[in-house]
Amino acid sequence: MSKAKNTTEILKRLRACFSNVELVDQPIDGYIVPYQDHHQSEYLAPCDKRIEYVCGFTGSAGLAIVLKSKAAFWTDGRYHLQASSQLDKNWTVMKDGLPGVPKPEDWLPKALKGGNGKVGIDPFLFSKKQYEKFDKALTSEGHELVAIAKNLIDVVWKDQPPRPANKIIPLKFNYTGMKWEDKIKLIRSDLKKEKAKALVVTALDEIAWLFNLRGSDIDYNPVFFSYAVVGLTFVNLFLRDEQRSKEVRDHLNASSGIDVTLLPYSTEEFVKSLEGLKGPEKIWASLKESQGTHMLIDNAVTKDSPIQLPKAIKNQAEITGMRNAHIRDAVALCEYLLWLENEVPKGSVDEISGATYLDTLRSKQDDFVSLSFPTISSVGPNGAIIHYFPTEATKRSLTTEEIYLVDSGGQYLDGTTDVTRTVHFGDPTPFQKECYTRVLKGHINLACVVFPNRTKGHQLDVLARQALWKVGLDYLHGTGHGVGSFLNVHEGPQSVSSRATDDAPMEEGMIISDEPGYYEDGSFGIRIESLLVTVKASTENRYKNVQYLTFEPITLVPLMKKMIDVKLLTSDEIEWVNAYHSQCRDIIGKELEKQNKKDVLEWLNRETTPISV
C-alpha cells in the first residue's frame, strides 16, 4: 500500500475557491466530493478520480467532505485499512459501518459551526436521490446545499489527465440482434405511454446499447463518454469531435427516417439542450439521473429508464453471442488450469504472474477486446479478502499447500464473461472440502430452481445459502448480478441478493451470475461462479396459466472434483455435476479440437469423468 499523499497544498487551493467570486455566487463553507462521474459509472476514468486527487485514496468507493478547517473521508469496510494508510493528517477517516461512526449527512450539519452554513456540490456528480438526502439533512438544521456550476476539484487540479476519447465502433446486427433505429422506436413508444416528450440518458452503457456502438473510454466497460436525449421527433447524441468518425456517422445515418443530431460532448451543450426542452411537457429522467439534469427539467417522469429492461432481456442473437463468447473464454480458462497443474508444483507461479498469463491466454481468443474487470487471483488468506486484487506488496506464490481462487472475465465482440473457479493442487483438508461442497450445493440449488415468471431474484437468494447455513457458515455478499452483452459486467435491474429487494422481476432472456462462496478469514476463500441464462421451463403443470422459468449455465468450465466431498451431495446433485461436466466435455471439447489444443482436451476429458458415491 502506498504512503500517504501530502494534501496540504491541494486543500489550501480548494479552500481558496470557497470565496472566489468568479467560481461561487456567494462564499461557501464546504465542498462535497463523491466517487462519481456524470454517468454513474462503476469504474472511473483517471480524469474523474477526483477523490484520489483530493485525498490520495485509490479505492473505488468513498465520499470526501472539505470544510474550511476540517476534512473528512468516508469509506466502507473493504477499505478502512487502505484509507487509514493513504490519507494524511489533514483528513479524518470515517469508517462507515462501524458503531458510532456518523453518516456524512448526519455529520455535516453538526460540523458546520453556527447556523446558515453553505455547502457546495457539483450537481452533475449527485443523483437526485443523493442530492435530496444531503439537502434535507442540511436545510433541517438551517444550512444550505449550493449547486456550483464549475467543478472546484477540476479548477485546482493542475495536471488533471485528459478525458479519454478512444475510437468508437459500430456493433454489427449479428451481435446486437436489433437495429438501433428499432431501439429508438421502442423508446418512443414508451415515451408515448408516459405522455413524455423526451428521454434523458446519461448512463454510458445505456447509450452504447441504444445506438449499437461500443468504445473504450473507461477500463473494462466498452463504453464512450456521451449524453443522449431521445425525443419523439428528434435524437441528440453528444460526442467529442474526434469520436465522430466516418464509420460512426455512416452507422447513424440510417435510411429509416430517424435523424441523429450529433452535438459536442460537454456539460454546456447538454445543459443548453435540456434548457431548449423546457416547458409544460413531461421529460423522462429517472431518479438515478443527476441533480444537475433534474434542475433543468420542470415536469419530470422519474420512472426507471426504459432502456434498462430491453438491455437486460437478451434477444436470441445476444444469447447466441454470449454462449459463443463463453465457449472461447472457457478454452482460455481450461488452458490456464492445466498450465497451473504443471507449473504450481515447480513453485514458479505467483498471483500476479498467474493472472498475467491467464489474461494473455484470453487475449488470444477470437474477438477478444479487453478484460471485463481486473482479474482476482488470490492464494490462501488473500482469497478470503472478497475484493482482493494482487499487488506486488501482497502477492503470494501458488503452492500445493493452499487454495487458489481465480475470478476473471473478458469482453468479446459477441459477449461478456465472468467466471470464478477455486482449485487446490495438493490435498485440501476435509473442512475445505466440506466448505467447497456446501458452496457447490448452493450453486446447484440456485441453478436448478424452477420458478414462476416474474419472480424476483432476491426471493431465490436463500437457495444458494441453505447448505452453508445448515452448519453455521455464510458469505457476506449477494449471490448474483446481471451481466451485459459486450457491455458492463455488472448491470441491473435484476439481481440475486437479499439486501436488494427492489430488484426487477426475472424474465426469460435475463442473465445472472450464480456465485455463492465461503471465506475463512486469514486462511482461504472459496467461490464458484458461473453465468446462467433464464429460459422457459417445461413443467408438468401450469398453475393459473403462469409460465415457469429456470436457468441454463452458459459458463462451461469444470469444477474441481478433488474438492468435492461426494458424500455430502444428494443423488440429484451428483447427477447435476455429471450432466454439467458432460456438457463441458461436449461443447468445450469440440472447440478445443477446433483450436487443436490436444493437451487441454485430454485434461478436460480427465476433469469431467463422472463422480459417484
What residue ranges bind its own copies (CB under 8 A)?
449-452, 456, 458-463, 466, 469-474, 476, 498, 501, 518, 537, 539-544, 546, 548, 570
Residue 181 contacts by C-beta under 8 Å, 6 or more apart in sequence?
A: 254, 256, 258
Q: Residue 221 pairs with which residues in a beta bridge?
A: 218
Q: Residue 152 or 496: which CB sits closer to its own copies?
A: 496
Question: How much of the chain is in helix, strand and coil states, percent to nearest 5?
Answer: 40, 20, 40
Closest approach of its own copies to the CB of residue 100, in Å? 15
For residue 115, with 0-12 CB atoms within 10 Å meaning exposed, 13-18 middle and 19 or more buried, which class applies? exposed
Q: List C-alpha distances in Å: 130 to 63, 133, 499.
A: 12, 5, 19
Q: Residue 160 or 453: which CB sits closer to its own copies?
A: 453
Q: Residue 395 or 477: which CB sits closer to its own copies?
A: 477
Q: Residue 170 or 452: which CB sits closer to its own copies?
A: 452
Q: Residue 38 or 458: which CB sits closer to its own copies?
A: 458
Closest approach of its own copies to the CB of residue 95, in Å? 17
Closest approach of its own copies to the CB of residue 470, in Å? 5
Shortest CA distance to 78 belongs to which of 386, 358, 316? 386
Q: Residue 24 or 460: which CB sits closer to its own copies?
A: 460
Closest approach of its own copies to the CB of residue 466, in Å? 7
Do residues 398 and 481 lie in contact, with contact meaning Cβ atoms separated by under 8 Å? Answer: no
Q: Residue 16 or 471: which CB sits closer to its own copies?
A: 471
Closest approach of its own copies to the CB of residue 459, in Å? 5
Closest approach of its own copies to the CB of residue 503, in Å? 11
Radius of gyration of the chain (CA): 25
Q: Report the C-alpha gap between 404 and 396 in whole angstroms.
A: 10
- The SS3 assignment for 571 reads helix
Q: Residue 40 or 550: which CB sits closer to its own copies?
A: 550
Q: Residue 30 pairs with which residues in a beta bridge?
A: 67, 119
Q: Residue 452 pairs with which residues in a beta bridge?
A: 548
Closest approach of its own copies to the CB of residue 282, in Å? 14
Closest approach of its own copies to the CB of residue 450, in Å? 5
Grid coordinates representing 166? 478512444
Q: List C-alpha distances in Å: 387 to 331, 500, 512, 549, 575.
A: 25, 19, 19, 32, 33
Q: Cis peptide leading into 493, omega within 30 of 0?
A: yes
